[in-house]
Amino acid sequence: MRILLTGATGFVGRHVLPELCARHDVVALVRRPPGPAPSGAAWLTGDLETLDPASLPTDIDVVIHEASRIDDPFGRDPGLMELAGTNVLGMLHLLDWAAGAGVRRFVYGSTGGIVGAGPSGSAAREIDRAQPPNPYNLTKHLAEQALVSYRWPFDVCSLRYYAPYARDGSNPLIIHLLQQLEAGLPVSIGADDGPWLNPVHISDAVAITIRAAEAHAPPRVVNVAGPDAVSMVEFASLLGAAIGREPRFERAADPSPSWVADTEVLGASLGLSVVRVAEGIAREWGRRP
């Protein structure tokens, strides 16, 4: 197949790119080419905010849309207008082009943050009501709604990634934890050792993304999360052991929110993640548990 990949230099996109190139012909849309294109791919320079549909190829089978402006909940959170150009308008540009270009499938790299956090012990389902907690998650929700609320002339699939992680990742939570551990500062937790999460290792996120692109009829919305639901205490302790830093914790009196995703739809359609949290952290940060 011939695949258009956006965000090919971002966190998920740069990991997806080489795997795609081994299987398909890839056009990688980037703002600035980082160097020579890998074998099997061609760079296409463009900005989603001002995208001219005439600049896009006319022989694309599948779109994998990973480009996004992200937030930083532990620093300066960008405002809605800062994020909407790429995250919302960019999606509209791509959908409008794809509707007339003969595209067969459109896969979107979304986020589990769209439904917000649930109470301790809960697991978010794809059908749960959207409760985006900040401007970033609102823009991802709006883009996802544009994708799944209209009967486009192609299959659509929104992949709600849950805390994808790797050593070279951009997940703000992981970056914050590493900074706290390195500085010897406490990690905030709730009364039940949370928040709770089931993060997905980048290798699983990549494999599932490619399966969605190759599937005959992928689910319209699917949670992409890891096999283990862990507390912040467990996750930070594993991470601290891997980098040689003993975590300190600052406990609150209230129960923690849950960022755990239900993966029943994932297992029935695209296949479950397989990398356990302890294995993934050891693989990325250097020590076997």
Instruction: Name the residue ranges covered by the structural domains of the chain.
Output: 2-285
Q: Is pLDDT above 80 for 86?
A: yes
**Residue 191 CB: number of other CB atoms within 10 A?**
12
Q: Is pLDDT above 70 for 25?
A: yes
C-alpha dihedral, 179 to 182 to 184 to 189, nearest 10°? 50
- Residue 288's pLDDT band (cuts 50, 70, 90): very low
What pTM was computed for the model? 0.95
- Cis, peptide link before residue 73, omega less than 30° from 0: no
**Residue 42 CB: number of other CB atoms within 10 A?**
12
Q: Regarding the domain delimited by 2-285, which CATH topology (the fold level of the hierarchy) does it fall under?
A: Rossmann fold (3.40.50)
Distance CA 89, CA 255 (A): 38
C-alpha dihedral, 65 to 70 to 73 to 74, nearest 10°? 120
Cβ burial, residue 179 (10 Å; 0-12/13-18/19+): exposed
Q: Where are the beta strands (DSSP E) in 15-136?
A: 25-30, 41-45, 62-65, 105-111
Find the mean pLDDT for residues 241-260.
95
**How does pLDDT run across 125-165, given as a tens digit for each residue?**
999 999 999 999 999 999 999 999 999 999 999 999 999 99
